Amino acid sequence: MNFLVTGGAGFIGSHVCERLLRDGHDVTVFDDLNPFYAPALKRRNLADIKATAAAAGRHFHFFEGDLADRATLDRALQEVGCDQVIHLAARAGVRPSLLEPALYQRVNVEGTVNVLEAARATGCRKFVLASSSSVYGVNAKVPFAETDPIFSAISPYAASKLACEALGHVYHHVYGLEVTMLRFFTVYGPRQRPDLAIHKFASLITAGRPIPVFGDGSTRRDYTYVDDIVDGVMAATTCDFGYEVFNLGESQTVRLDELIELLEHSLGIRAVIDRLPQQPGDVPVTFADISKARAKLGYNPQTKIAVGIPKFVEWFRASGG
């Protein structure tokens, strides 16, 4: 089967591509290699994907382009063919979206329309789209279930993902495209973006520099190891639902101060804490109810945080941080 993976040079995308190739599929990556973080890291990911393709005896193609560039998207799908799209490309992060809300809407919302249109025009039968736990906003009910109201976004990033989910529903309802929405909960592991907390904290702790902690350390996140997320993505590509939304998380929360302790223990270095005020757009807790994903996708996360953090640190040290 031929897969188009947008954002395939990134953190989650590169892992998805390698799994697809090892499972016997052909992969086309569409990515703009933007400088949100170092493009060299994405090129290193692409080199790893290419090596995996060679070892698996599968075809791998890379198209560099912006999601706003519909012509390049169409060319990518027409030249290599496409049975399914896994749409992971997006401008990510709550705090950066507060500074550039228009950019987030252009890339995430308009870009998603372009990918949906390109898929529709070239006859792709199935579309898997990465959403986010951010769509739940400040949700008083925990754990978060797919049936909870999601009309209280508190960041431009969250609003953009809400719009993407709505667009996915439209393209299923009007055009008959099979669309599966996956709400990711705080993904970490090897190749994690350097701006994300676990990678950023590990770098700062190793360098002996203070780590910024917004609030009193009591915020809780549902940290999910990347291999478990990839399992959920792969399951979504093999099941047909019409239109469905699934949470993909660990379904276990960890306090920020507990996370720091786990990093300190794995690194063997004490952290220097820089206490800062709580940030706008941050939510106090994310917590996934994954009962629907368990029942319909067979999703069953395996890596607890106490195991995942040492695995991340092992990669962090081997890769030179």
**136 a catalytic residue:** no
Residue 73: both structure tokens together: 């998207």
User: Which among 113, 114, 122, 33 is positioned nearest to 69, based on CA atoms?
Assistant: 114
Say what the pLDDT of residue 278 is: 81
Residues 18 and 52 sit within 8 Å (Cβ to Cβ): yes
Q: Which of 190, 209, 188, 206 is nearest to 198 (CA)?
A: 188
- Are the beta carbons of 158 and 137 closer than 8 angstroms? yes
H or E element at residue 244: strand 243-248
Is the alpha carbon torsion for 52, 53, 54, 57 positive or negative?
positive
Confidence (pLDDT) at 137:
87
pLDDT for residue 241 = 87
Which pLDDT belongs to residue 153? 86
> Which pLDDT value is given to residue 59?
97
| Predicted local confidence at residue 294, as pLDDT | 98
Count of other CB atoms within 10 angstroms of residue 242: 11
Those residues whose C-beta lies under 8 Å from the C-beta of residue 279, and which sit 6 or more positions away, are 95, 214
CA dist 81 and 122 (Å) reads: 8
Give bridge partners of residue 183 from the DSSP assignment: 131, 247
DSSP for 249-269, please give it.
Answer: S-S--EEHHHHHHHHHHHHT-
User: What 8-state DSSP symbol labels residue 141?
Assistant: S
Q: What is the pLDDT of residue 79?
A: 85
Q: CATH code for 2-318? A: 3.40.50.720
Rounded to 5 degrees, what angle do the CA atoms 281, 87, 226 make? Answer: 70
Domain boundaries, the chain: 2-318
Number of H helices, E strands in the chain: 12, 13
The confidence score (pLDDT) of residue 95 equals 87
pLDDT for res 240: 86
Amino acid at 217: G
CA dihedral 91, 97, 101, 105 (to 10 degrees): 30
Nearest to 114 by CA among 54, 156, 70: 70
Q: Exactly one of 136, 157, 188, 299 is catalytic; name it.
A: 157
Q: What six digits make up the tokens of 210? A: 């203070």
**Is the distance from CB of 273 to CB of 215 less than 8 angstroms?**
no
Element at 307 (helix H, strand E) = helix 305-318
Enumerate residues 6+ apart whose C-beta is below 8 A from 271: 201, 204, 205, 211, 260, 263, 264
The structure's pTM equals: 0.96
Q: Which two tokens stand for residue 23?
A: 């499972």
pLDDT per residue rounded down to tens, the chain (321 residues) = 999 999 999 999 999 999 999 999 999 999 999 999 999 999 999 999 999 999 999 999 999 999 988 899 998 888 888 999 999 999 998 889 999 999 999 999 999 999 999 999 989 989 999 999 999 988 778 899 999 988 888 899 999 999 999 999 999 999 999 999 999 999 999 999 999 999 999 999 999 999 999 888 899 999 999 999 999 999 999 988 899 999 999 999 999 999 999 999 999 999 999 998 887 767 788 999 999 999 999 999 999 999 999 999 999 999 987
Cα of 21 vs its chain's centroid, Å: 19
For residue 186, the SS3 value is coil
- From the list 199, 206, 230, 225, the residue with the least C-alpha distance to 13 is 230
Other CB atoms within a 10 A radius of the CB of residue 88 amount to 27
Distances (CA, A) of 195 to 38, 119, 204: 10, 31, 11
